Amino acid sequence: METEEILAELDNVETQIQDVQGQIQVLLDQQEKLYERQSELKAILEACRAFGSPKATDDAPPTALEDWSGTFDWDSKADHYKFHVFGISKYRANQHEIINAVMSGRDVLVIMAAGGGKSLCYQLPAILCDGISLVVSPLISLIQDQVMGLKALDIPASMLTSTTGKEEEKFIYKALEKGEGVKILYVTPEKISKSKRFMSKLEKCHHGGHLSLIAIDEAHCCSQWGHDFRPDYKNLGILKIQFPKVPMLALTATATQKVQYDLMEMLHIPKCVKFVSTVNRPNLFYMVREKASVAKVVIDEIAEFIEECYPNNESGIVYCFSRKECEQVAAELRERGISADYYHADMDVKSREKVHMRWSKNKLQVIVGTVAFGMGINKPDVRFVIHHSLSKSMETYYQESGRAGRDGAPSECLLFFRPADVPRQSSMVFYENSGLQNLYDIVRYCQSKRQCRRSAFFRHFSESLQDCNGMCDNCAFSSDIIEVDVSEHAKMMVSFLQDMQENDQRLTLLQLVDKMKNKHKEIGAELKREELEQLVIQLILESVLKEEFQHTAYATNAYVKIGPLARQVLQGI
Ligand SMILES: Nc1ncnc2c1ncn2[C@@H]1O[C@H](COP(=O)(O)OP(=O)(O)OP(=O)(O)O)[C@@H](O)[C@H]1O
Ligand SMILES: [Mg+2]
């Protein structure tokens, strides 16, 4: 064999090895997902066996056989408070049962959609029981909201956070010692993990027999697999260890099965009674719109949507990717005559509170916020939630869009999607646990023109499908879709990127599309720039291309590279 021949074959073999390695990687990823699902299913099976088995040795009866809607000693007192204190005439789904389980002294895990009425599940038991109930909640703004609401109902509620003054703190510590003066005490998780003083007061409260209940709100923050993990939540396990006999109630709107098992373990409540309500929010209309590449056009469209659909100052939220973007969008909406202001984590507590208050009292129509705005915000009549940029996962989007229509009235959730927003998010989340996978799930949701938006949520949260009743754009208008075969374009794109890569050229998504358009003019004539961007994203979702990340001193850049299944596209498989 000639040297040249050998080199050529060697080159060929090396390329094939790379190709096989890529395919192995895809299979390994698949295997990992299957392992994950396998361990989830095993855990579920174990739980079913433990709870369903007549031999269960725990002195509490097995969950499956318990009837929490029966008659209990506290029924008439509970009915009285429900109506006369909270002004509620009828329980919503599961509320009654949850309250009964908590009052029976059991640990309880509640998964209930945003706005479903989780707060009542601990607030009512708190006033039914003697003593003080402790509520752990992640955000000061959320705590303020709740305490304000309870005080308006004449319920003695207090909060202990980093903003609490010395006098108030003294009052609370005294109340803890005596077991009176406060009925519901809200704290941030830092108090449990960092304040020895608080923990010793709580110990005293418990010792005196005054600690009646512990509620962990937004409990998904315990889990690293959840969409909003908070390190201080990890330490909340100590509560069950210190106070094993005090019933614990963990509540969240969003938890996949994996997150549920994780948080039961972290909080040490393996035998808890679990109430899982549907994730369906039948009154929300979900839609995705293509986002224009010119910033001003996007704002025009948002302003037009608000003015046309909500001309009577109906409340809404616009979510943005960054703090700067929030400020810009709010200013530009104001220029277009919409009463809007921004809310993000860089503002001091007072300014944030002011904006929130104006919005709550309908003095401001629109809050333009980052993710910092919203967890548990209790405004019932939010008519629309617009995403100026995509969220980082299905869970985050479900939670954020779920702030609309908590009063059950029809409301709209509109997401503006453009492929160029993907690398902005991916370069932030790629180092998180399953960060890219979670992001690509929401990107799939955005790219899909046929699949029911609602069914994407059911699938994500492992729930059986329910009817959408035409309450999403794809169910309502999908008949207008025209299909275009882009396999040749995909081939060209892959081979073009391969050439670039062989010449050590790195390209971002936008650069790739630009260069493609320049090089292959015919493509530019057939597909619009936006369509080419969508094609790149679709190829990334299908592992034909992939994203790779490079740190610079100022940012992390996302580049598009050849992915493990590229050869299949080139060979037309
Ligand atoms: N049974 C009921 N009947 C009528 N309104 C109710 C009932 N239960 C709760 N609500 C109201 O529903 C709204 C949402 O309740 P709540 O704040 O407890 O929701 P949540 O489940 O905690 O939501 P999130 O996950 O967003 O925190 C509140 O305005 C509350 O007063
Ligand atoms: Mg809540």
pLDDT at 55 over 70: no
> What's the average model confidence in pLDDT over 453-482?
88
Beta bridge partners of 386: 318, 414
Q: What pLDDT band is residue 50 in, cutting at 50, 70 and 90?
A: low
Question: What pLDDT sits at residue 52?
Answer: 46
| Mean of per-residue pLDDT scores for the chain | 89
Cβ-count burial of 95 within 10 angstroms (0-12 exposed, 13-18 middle, 19+ buried)?
buried
> Considering only CA atoms, which of 417, 330, 402 is closest in space to residue 369?
330
The pLDDT of 552-568, averaged and rounded, is 89
In 3-state terms, what secondary structure has residue 272? coil
Task: Name the 3-class secondary structure at 42.
Answer: helix
> How many residues appear in the chain?
573
Ligand nearest to the CA of 85: 1
Looking at the DSSP bridge assignments, the partners of residue 550 are 557
Residue 303 Cβ < 6 Å to ligand 1? no
User: So what's the pLDDT on residue 378?
Assistant: 75
120 ligand 1 Cβ < 6 A: yes
Q: Which residues of 520-544 are buried (b: 16+ CB within 10 A; e: fewer)?
A: eeebeeebeebbbbbbbbbbbeebb
The number of the ligand nearest the C-alpha atom of 82 reads 1
Higher pLDDT among residues 19 and 315, named by residue:
315
**pLDDT class for 480, splitting at 50, 70, 90?**
confident
Q: Is 319 in contact with 403 (CB distance < 8 Å)? A: no
Among the residue ranges 81-90, 278-287, 344-353, 466-475, the one predicted with the least confidence is 344-353
**pLDDT band at 48; cut points 50, 70, 90:** low
Lowest mean pLDDT among 85-89, 252-256, 364-368: 252-256
Identify the sign of the CA torsion 380, 381, 387, 390. Answer: positive
Residue 57 has what pLDDT? 34
Section 353-375 average pLDDT = 90
User: What is the reported pLDDT for 376?
Assistant: 56
Residue in the block written with tokens 């104001």: 334
pLDDT at 40: 66
pLDDT, tens digit, 9 for 90 and up, residues 510-559? 999 999 888 888 877 788 889 999 999 999 999 999 999 998 888 899 99
C-alpha to C-alpha distance for 1 and 11, rounded to whole angstroms: 15
**pLDDT for the residue numbered 43:** 64
pTM, two decimals, is 0.80
Report the C-alpha gap between 191 and 234 in whole angstroms.
Answer: 13
Report how far ligand 2's centroid is from the alpha carbon of 389 (Å).
24
In this model, does residue 569 exceed pLDDT 90?
no
Ligand 2 centroid to Cα of residue 373, in Å, is: 14
How far does residue 149's CA lie from ligand 2's centre (Å)?
A: 12
DSSP 472: B
Q: Using one digit for the tens of pLDDT, what is the confidence trace for 141-192?
A: 789 889 999 999 999 999 999 889 999 999 999 999 999 999 999 999 999 9
- CA angle, corner 156, sides to 155 and 158, nearest 5? 125
In the chain, % of residues over pLDDT 70: 94
Q: In this prediction, does ipTM exceed 0.90?
A: yes
Least confident of 15-19, 292-296, 335-339, 393-397: 15-19
pLDDT digits (tens, 9 = 90+) for 332-363: 999 999 999 999 988 988 898 899 889 999 99
φ/ψ (deg, to 5) at 54: -70, -15
Q: Is the CB of 257 under 6 A from ligand 1?
A: no
> Going by CA atoms, what residue is nearest to atom 7 of ligand 1?
117
**What local confidence, expressed as pLDDT, does residue 62 receive?**
41
Q: What number is the average pLDDT over the span 74-92?
A: 95
Copy the structure tokens of residue 356: 């929130």
The Å distance, Cα 358 to ligand 2 centre, comes to: 21
Taking a 5 Å cut-off on Cβ, the residues next to ion ligand 2 are 118, 376
* Ligand 1 atom 6, closest CA: 117
What is the per-residue pLDDT for 375? 65
More confident residue, 520 or 499: 499
Torsion angle of C-alpha atoms 373, 378, 384, 390, degrees rounded to 10? 30
- 220-246 pLDDT, tens digit per residue, is 988 877 667 788 888 999 999 999 999
Residues 438-451: pLDDT tens digits? 899 999 999 998 89
DSSP H or E stretch at residue 340:
strand 340-343
* pLDDT score, position 324: 95
Determine whether the shortest distance from the Cβ of 380 to ligand 1 is under 6 A: yes
Task: Check pocket membership of 189 for ligand 1, CB cut-off 6 A.
Answer: no
- What's the pLDDT score for residue 22? 80
Going by C-beta distance under 8 Å and a sequence separation of 6 or more, which residues neighbour residue 543? 26, 563, 564, 565
Question: Does 116 have pLDDT greater than 50?
Answer: yes
253 close to ligand 1 (CB < 6 Angstrom): yes
Q: Looking at 305-309, 349-353, 495-499, which range is the least confident one?
A: 349-353
Ligand 1, atom 29: closest residue by C-alpha: 380
Of residues 561 and 29, more confidently modeled: 561
